[in-house]
């Protein structure tokens, strides 16, 4: 079908259209992240939107474009995450019926949050592709308007309003990094930046397991799949309209790994005091992975979403502490006699370490009946302090450190 590409005027019109229904989120300079990266970092806090993500912009604009007849019929969308809540919220604000099709595996919290905005939630299929097919079936049979999460001109124009605000409120940028799933966010933001500030470089970022746009633009075969913490941008293939726009605009896409996203997520939480989901940390991950490229530049980093499961966030923070050498997991065989545990605890405490977990096994794990296996998890201030704690133990006990990061060996 013929594709109508979104232009700068569409983004400006979208901004006027959604004013009042979508929050103009804060843009803040972040000194802590600037020191860590060598760039001058400006965070755009889209995690503060009512539904916790930038998706509200596109949903609000698309729904505002509906005719009276279309509003009367209602809308249907397919999503397992932020798009679902965005469509549900803005349909409610406009008094429009909204049906959201979600895969059966969708976590209960996301289903509950979407329903809480007043949408009719339909669980169908094992994957997003099956849910999408059912959503299109409902659109045909019930006369509903299908609101695509990224392959839609109205949605793309709405997403581009984020870039307008970020450039204006930062006082100007050398570069802006935009997470890419289906590509609508990057397409809208690139158009907006080209119109408002042509000298601002706009780059996309994808995770390695779902780098379809980077692969296409690089002339490679598309191969995607596998688990990722950046589930919000885990899209198997970029949309047709965003792809056409990316080609027309000469887009460039950076690719980051899972560990880089985890490190960025932890850095946002610990240093910037911002809770982000995996996709929301992808832009910072791109800066961390390309420090030389962005050194000394004013860089816009959208925290595009903050909807992360608290258990996953806790695990990421602990894994990051282990990776940084701030969490030490020490295993040792010890003689089975009184006072040994107290001696080990005293040596760790004397070095300033904080013991947070102890596991002591006599019967099954020890090599002989006169010894026991001890596993101790201790917290250190940093990697150097962790090395001091290990140095206090090594002359007296044989440590097995297979689970520690390489620099702690």
What is the reported pLDDT for 2? 38
More confident site: 73 or 370: 73
Report the CATH number that the domain containing residue 361 is assigned in CATH.
3.30.70.260
Instruction: Answer yes or no: are the C-beta atoms of 180 and 156 closer than 8 Å.
Output: no
**Total structural domains in the chain?**
3
Q: Does 115 share its domain with 161?
A: no
Provide the whole-model pTM: 0.89
pLDDT digits (tens, 9 = 90+) for 364-409: 555 555 678 889 999 999 999 999 999 999 999 988 875 544 433 3
Instruction: Answer yes or no: are the C-beta atoms of 244 and 219 closer than 8 Å.
Output: no
Instruction: Answer yes or no: are the C-beta atoms of 352 and 389 closer than 8 Å.
Output: yes
The C-alpha atoms of residue 156 and residue 132 are separated, in whole angstroms, by: 19
What is the reported pLDDT for 362? 61
- Which of 23-27, 126-130, 317-321 is predicted with the least confidence, judged by mean pLDDT? 126-130
Q: Is residue 331 part of a domain?
A: yes
Confidence of residue 360 (pLDDT cuts 50, 70, 90): confident
The C-alpha atoms of residue 327 and residue 353 are separated, in whole angstroms, by: 10
Q: Does 221 share its domain with 309?
A: yes
Q: Does 194 share its domain with 236?
A: yes
The CA radius of gyration of the chain, in Å to the nearest whole number, is 25
Q: What residues have CB less than 8 Å from 408, skipping those under 6 apart?
A: 325, 328, 383, 386, 387, 390, 401
Instruction: Answer yes or no: are the C-beta atoms of 268 and 284 closer than 8 Å.
Output: yes
Q: Is the pLDDT of residue 165 over 60?
A: yes
Q: Does 160 share its domain with 135?
A: no
Q: What residues have CB less than 8 Å from 59, skipping those under 6 apart?
A: 83, 86, 87, 89, 90, 147, 155, 158
Q: Mean pLDDT throughout 163-168? A: 98
Q: Is residue 250 part of a domain?
A: yes
Q: Is the pLDDT of residue 126 over 90?
A: no
- Which of 79-88, 238-247, 355-364 is predicted with the least confidence, judged by mean pLDDT? 355-364
Most confident of the ranges 105-119, 297-311, 368-382: 297-311
Q: Does 242 share its domain with 350?
A: no
Name the domain boundary from 317, 339, 360.
317
Q: Does 145 share its domain with 217?
A: no
Q: Does 164 share its domain with 295?
A: yes
- Which of 87-101, 214-228, 340-354, 365-379 is predicted with the least confidence, judged by mean pLDDT? 365-379
Name the domain boundary from 317, 335, 365.
317
Q: Is residue 399 part of a domain?
A: yes
Task: Locate 244 and state its tokens.
Answer: 């056409």
Q: Is the pLDDT of residue 245 over 90?
A: yes
Q: Does 41 share its domain with 125?
A: no
**Containing domain of residue 113, as a range?**
56-149
- Which of 51-65, 173-187, 391-405 is predicted with the least confidence, judged by mean pLDDT? 391-405
Mean pLDDT (the chain) is 92
Name the domain boundary from 149, 164, 187.
149
Q: Does 186 share its domain with 222?
A: yes
Q: Does 353 share its domain with 388?
A: yes
């Amino acid at each position: 079908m013929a594709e109508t590409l979104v232009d700068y005027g569409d983004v400006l019109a979208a901004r006027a259209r959604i004013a009042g229904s979508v929050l103009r989120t804060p843009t803040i300079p972040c000194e802590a992240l600037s020191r860590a990266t060598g760039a001058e970092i400006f965070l755009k806090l889209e995690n503060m939107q009512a539904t916790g993500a930038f998706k509200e912009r596109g949903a609000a604009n698309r729904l505002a474009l509906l005719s009276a007849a279309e509003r009367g019929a209602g809308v249907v969308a397919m999503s397992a995450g932020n798009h679902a809540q965005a469509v549900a919220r803005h349909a409610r604000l406009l008094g429009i019926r909204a049906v959201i099709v979600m895969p059966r595996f969708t976590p209960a919290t996301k289903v509950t949050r979407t329903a809480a905005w007043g949408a009719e939630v339909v669980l169908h299929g094992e994957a997003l592709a099956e849910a999408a097919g059912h959503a299109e079936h409902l659109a045909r049979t019930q006369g509903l308007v299908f609101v695509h999460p990224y392959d839609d001109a109205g949605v793309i124009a709405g997403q581009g309003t984020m870039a307008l605000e970020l450039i204006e409120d930062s006082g100007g940028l050398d570069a802006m990094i935009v997470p890419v799933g289906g590509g609508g966010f990057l397409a809208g933001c690139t158009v907006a930046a080209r119109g408002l500030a042509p000298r601002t470089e706009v780059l996309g970022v994808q995770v390695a397991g779902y780098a379809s746009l980077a692969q296409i633009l690089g002339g490679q075969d598309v191969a995607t799949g596998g688990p990722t913490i950046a589930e919000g941008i885990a899209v198997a293939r970029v949309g047709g309209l965003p792809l056409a726009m990316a080609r027309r605009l000469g887009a460039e896409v950076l690719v980051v790994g899972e560990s880089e996203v985890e490190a960025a997520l932890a850095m946002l939480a610990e240093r910037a005091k911002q809770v982000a989901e995996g996709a929301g940390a992808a832009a910072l991950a791109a800066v961390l992975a390309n420090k030389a490229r962005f050194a000394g530049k004013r860089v816009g980093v959208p925290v595009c979403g903050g909807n992360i499961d608290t258990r996953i966030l806790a695990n990421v923070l602990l894994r990051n502490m282990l990776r940084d050498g701030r969490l030490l997991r020490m295993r040792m065989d010890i003689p089975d006699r009184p006072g040994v545990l107290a001696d080990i605890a005293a040596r760790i405490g004397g070095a300033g370490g904080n013991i947070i977990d102890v596991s002591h096994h006599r019967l099954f794990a020890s090599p002989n009946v006169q010894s026991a296996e001890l596993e101790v998890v201790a917290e250190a201030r940093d990697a150097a302090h962790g090395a001091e704690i290990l140095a206090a133990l090594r002359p007296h006990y044989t440590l097995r450190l297979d689970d520690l990061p390489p620099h702690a060996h």
